[in-house]
Amino acid sequence: MVHYNNLLLENKGGILFITVNRPNKMNALNIETVKEINTAMQEVYDDPQVRGVILTGSGEKAFVAGADIAEIAELNEVNGRRFAERGQEVFSMIEESPKPVIAAVNGFALGGGCELAMACHIRVASENARFGQPEVNLGIIPGYGGTQRLTQLVGKGKAMELMMTGDMITAAEAKEIGLVNHVTSPEGLMDKCLEIMQKIVAKAPLAVGMIVDCVNAWYDKEENGYQTEANSFSRCCGSEDFKEGTSAFLEKRKPAFKGE
């Protein structure tokens, strides 16, 4: 069993709840926490008992309020590149996970916290959540994929504005511009995430994972998304889940998918 200093993990019926647990630091991402997220995601990939992930922050104020500024202040041109690349690698594990990952944004999601939420497949925010990429105020830019994912989610013009001004926006505005999927009351946040997750995990696991691959391929300049889709469709047609899904439909019963 892996011991985590900065994360809490709990598996409830195949749904793994990962909580960033540094409440005295507003759940800020330090290097150790990023390493632990990497380890936790590797568990998600490797454990067949895990069907999906809900990622949140501890307490009522912050999802993740940014990176650890004390660590960032020590960076230079040489180790700054590796710092960014390492964060990008870990967040890509989330983005590319074949199992659904939902961000339950329960407060401030700023800087690296906003980048962490954007790496998840779906974002649900409570009404008190706030989003922003304020790195420009420190003389730097987002380094964990924020310049790319924010642009993908909200478009070039709005992404430019948010990153160049460093402005913070409300959950309602985040939904309006497409940064989050749903906004709920603080009390209803987890219920909404579970509602969505339970719908997804009832579907064919192989197909869910291939949807992730195909959607991500749209943004990959080296990959033909249409070919990825055709290849994935073909693989689905050879799966036991496909046979089960079509048989269940024709027999007018609920399918029992096994991820095979």
For residue 165, pLDDT over 80 is answered with: yes
| Cβ neighbours around 248 below 10 Å, total | 14
Average pLDDT taken over every residue of the chain? 95
Mean pLDDT of 185-206: 97
3-state secondary structure of 181: coil
Mean pLDDT of 134-156: 96
* Cα–Cα distance, 145 to 115 (Å, whole number): 7
Host H or E run for residue 246: helix 240-250
Mean pLDDT of 91-108: 98
CATH topology of domain 7-201: 2-enoyl-CoA Hydratase; Chain A, domain 1 (3.90.226)
For residue 70, pLDDT over 90 is answered with: no
- Specify the pLDDT at position 220: 83
Mean pLDDT of 197-221: 94
Q: How far is CA 80 from CA 38, 75, 132, 208, in A?
A: 19, 5, 21, 35
pTM: 0.94
Indicate which residues carry an active-site annotation: 115, 135
Locate the domains of the chain by residue range.
Answer: 7-201, 204-251
For residue 135, pLDDT over 90 is answered with: yes
